[in-house]
Chain A
Amino acid sequence: MGWRLIRTYTILVYLFMFLPIAVVVLLSFNANQFGSFPMTGVSTRWFEALWENEAIMRAFRTSILLGLMTAAISTVLGVLASLALVRYAIPGRNLITTLLIAPILVPEVVLAVALLLFLNFLNIGKSFTLLLAGHVIFTLPFVILVVQARLVSIRRDVEEAALSLGASPRQTFFAITLPLLMPAVAAGGLFAFTISFDDITGTLFWKPGGIETVPTQIFSMLRNSISPEINALGTVIIVLTVGLPLIGAAVARKLATKSGA
């Protein structure tokens, strides 16, 4: 009796959480022009409308570009920082780690305002570069956490063996450490991309006028009207931000089994 209650309750909680998402996906295929039930037929017209909506497509391209650049920069910086923190006895290691991880702990609004005020203070205006920098600061901790965890598990003597066989420290990094680190690098990059892709709080503060990302575009569209296009866009974003990490995790697992670690 008790278990049945718990099971029912659990199912209800999940329904409460996921039904709205399911509804969005379902309604994005609705033929009716009002984004509501009852559905009058199945159609992909809203996806087509989305494809033809210049503003949304521009926002989409911006988001993809921003996400890719954020991922690339965060991954490179994250790997370098992790190497320094794990492999070298640098003074103040704990302090630096805390500082690098801090952006996760600080509320995003605070971080967003702080960066904006700081740049105002320096008399630097808003720009795409600033937006990118903000996203990097915000995604870097995730990369560092993932990469550090993996780096700790890579035995030092494997690298020492490579050195003893004649590979320079740099050659050792590219031939041994980086390939063994790859699953974490891929996962970190993917994290960075998805976090950047659906970030709205920071982006609202940092984006210069005239540039919209997908989340800010949806936000401004919602202020005017609720178009079924938004449902379609929501579906695309769900596929991107849920599907990509799942695929990424599967690839990472495959890489990890192949390398035997």
Chain B
Amino acid sequence: MSAVSLTQIVKRFGNFTAVYPMSLEISEGSFVTLLGPSGCGKTTTLRMIAGLLDPTEGEIAIKGKRVNDVPIHKRNLGLVFQNYALFPHKTVAENVAFGLNYRNTAKADVTRKVAEALDLVQLPDLGARYPKELSGGQQQRIALARAIVIEPDVLLLDEPLSALDANLREDMRVELKRIQQRIGVTTVFVTHDQTEALAMSDQIIVMSKGRVEQVGAPEDVYNSPATEFVAQFLGASNLLTAQCTDVSGGEMALELPGFPKIVIPRERAADGLGPGPVRLVIRAEKLHLKPLDAADDGRLSVEAIVENVDYQGQSARYFLRVGAHQLQAINMIEDHPFATGAKVSLRFRARDCAALPVESKP
């Protein structure tokens, strides 16, 4: 039985469709991320699960029970917001205890559970403080403690890390994942940050313009993007239009002007692709720059000109030209980065390439 199950849910605001028919099964104890740019419908979906929005069509079930007509305060959910949403007029302990007070919990149990929750988020001594006396990171930990102390069926996180500083965000990311694994609560996480999604999730749902683009484990979504959108949204990808000349024996041959013939394994190509134009996808970090005179290493090689270098410390992002094509490559820097204007040998493996159908631009 799924912890959360969405069946063909749709959300429309007047003439605008925020979420197109969407079905999703979230299994018990898993960490699922709704990933996409702002306006992709991820928060709308989360709010429908929470009961803060009613779906226009479709059915939402939590633990096998239809909840469409169950108001939010009877759904037993933990909700964490981007801006913490702590009650400013209550102390930290009162904030954490809030949900327990509506659950007929005995006084002694309330005190014990609040202490346990504060321990879990590693802020055991702050119970008597007011939220405004805490830092952003501390406030978000308290918000998390407040959400999990009620032992929710599902924990819903709406961009909980977005308001934090970059360094703190990484700490909190690790912390959040640790706590989630410790208590094993089913978690739905909404973010626009691909790093967070890749690092934390068991499953990622990539959304764009109200539609689901791809559902899969972080590695699958990253390595085998199902659509151009996914390829471009997660990491830096190069997208080139190539000609498929032959499909045979589990391989697909692609031709690209200025490049050697690229033969990719059939499973790296989208289903149903045949001869004709296709979109070739290769990740920026899968393109390696070598000096022109470097020995052949069994990889495909093509001569390229460095047009621009974006120095990033341990790595560099190169903007390259191969014939009429412009490409991006991200490489670790060993000694010195290649200079602008340098001619280099660009190496890559055919199996790092993927083929997608050519999308008709709307």
Residues of A within 8 A of B (CB): 155, 157-158, 160-169, 171-172, 175-176, 179-180, 258-261
Picked from A160, A167, A258, the residue with its CB within 8 Å of the CB of B52 is A160
Q: Which residues of A contact B83 (CB under 8 A)?
A: 155, 157
Q: Which residues of B contact A180 (CB under 8 A)?
A: 88-89
A sample of 14 more A-B contacts (CB under 8 A), given A158-B87, A160-B79, is A157-B83, A160-B50, A161-B85, A161-B86, A162-B87, A164-B147, A165-B98, A165-B99, A165-B150, A166-B150, A168-B71, A175-B98, A259-B89, A260-B130
A120, chain B: closest CB distance, angstroms: 47
| 21 A–B contacts from the bound complex (CB under 8 Å) | A155-B85, A157-B85, A158-B85, A160-B50, A161-B79, A161-B85, A161-B146, A163-B71, A163-B72, A164-B72, A164-B75, A164-B147, A164-B156, A165-B73, A165-B146, A166-B73, A166-B150, A167-B102, A172-B73, A176-B87, A260-B88
Chain A residue, CB-CB nearest to B50: A164
**Residue interface mask B84-100, A partner, CB < 8 A = 1:** 01111100000000110
Q: Does B55 contact A (CB under 8 A)?
A: no
Chain A residue, CB-CB nearest to B130: A260
B64, chain A: closest CB distance, angstroms: 21
Q: Which residues of A contact B86 (CB under 8 A)?
A: 158, 161
A260, chain B: closest CB distance, angstroms: 4
- Pair A258/B81 contact, Cβ less than 8 Å: no
Q: Given the complex of chains A and B, what is the CA–CA distance between A169 and B73 in angstroms? A: 8
Q: Does B78 contact A (CB under 8 A)?
A: yes
Q: Given the complex of chains A and B, what is the CA–CA distance between A163 and B147 in angstroms? A: 11
Q: Which residues of A contact B85 (CB under 8 A)?
A: 155, 157-158, 160-161
A156, chain B: closest CB distance, angstroms: 9
Chain B residue, CB-CB nearest to A259: B89
**Leading 10 A-B pairs by shortest Cβ distance:** A165-B99, A166-B102, A260-B132, A164-B79, A259-B89, A260-B88, A157-B85, A161-B85, A157-B81, A163-B72
Residues of B within 8 A of A (CB): 50, 52, 71-79, 81, 83, 85-89, 98-99, 102-103, 130-132, 143, 146-147, 150, 156
- Pair A166/B99 contact, Cβ less than 8 Å: yes
Given that A157-B83, A161-B79 are contacting pairs, would A258 and B72 also be in contact in the complex, using a CB cutoff of 8 Å?
no
Q: Given the complex of chains A and B, what is the CA–CA distance between A169 and B71 in angstroms? A: 10
Q: Which of B71, B73, B77 has the most CB of A within 10 A?
A: B73
Q: Which residues of B contact A258 (CB under 8 A)?
A: 89
Q: Given the complex of chains A and B, what is the CA–CA distance between A177 and B131 in angstroms? A: 16
Q: Given the complex of chains A and B, what is the CA–CA distance between A164 and B143 in angstroms? A: 12
- Pair A164/B78 contact, Cβ less than 8 Å: yes
Q: Which residues of B contact A175 (CB under 8 A)?
A: 98
- Pair B88/A167 contact, Cβ less than 8 Å: no
Chain B residue, CB-CB nearest to A159: B85
- Pair A164/B89 contact, Cβ less than 8 Å: no
- Pair A171/B102 contact, Cβ less than 8 Å: yes
A55, chain B: closest CB distance, angstroms: 46
Q: Given the complex of chains A and B, what is the CA–CA distance between A175 and B87 in angstroms? A: 10
B190, chain A: closest CB distance, angstroms: 13
Q: Which residues of A contact B130 (CB under 8 A)?
A: 260
Chain A residue, CB-CB nearest to B131: A260
Chain A residue, CB-CB nearest to B72: A163
Q: Which residues of B contact A169 (CB under 8 A)?
A: 73
Q: Which residues of B contact A163 (CB under 8 A)?
A: 52, 71-73
Q: Given the complex of chains A and B, what is the CA–CA distance between A261 and B78 in angstroms? A: 24
Given that A165-B99, A167-B102, A260-B132 are contacting pairs, would A179 and B89 also be in contact in the complex, using a CB cutoff of 8 Å?
yes
Q: Which residues of A contact B76 (CB under 8 A)?
A: 166
Q: Given the complex of chains A and B, what is the CA–CA distance between A127 and B94 in angstroms? A: 49
Q: Given the complex of chains A and B, what is the CA–CA distance between A164 and B52 in angstroms? A: 9
- Pair B88/A168 contact, Cβ less than 8 Å: no
A212, chain B: closest CB distance, angstroms: 43
Chain A residue, CB-CB nearest to B79: A164
- Pair A167/B98 contact, Cβ less than 8 Å: yes
Picked from A157, A158, A165, the residue with its CB within 8 Å of the CB of B102 is A165
- Pair B98/A162 contact, Cβ less than 8 Å: yes
- Pair A261/B88 contact, Cβ less than 8 Å: yes
A151, chain B: closest CB distance, angstroms: 14
Q: Given the complex of chains A and B, what is the CA–CA distance between A261 and B81 in angstroms? A: 18
Q: Which residues of A contact B156 (CB under 8 A)?
A: 164
Q: Which residues of A contact B99 (CB under 8 A)?
A: 165-166
Chain B residue, CB-CB nearest to A164: B79
B162, chain A: closest CB distance, angstroms: 13
Chain A residue, CB-CB nearest to B132: A260
Q: Given the complex of chains A and B, what is the CA–CA distance between A162 and B52 in angstroms? A: 12
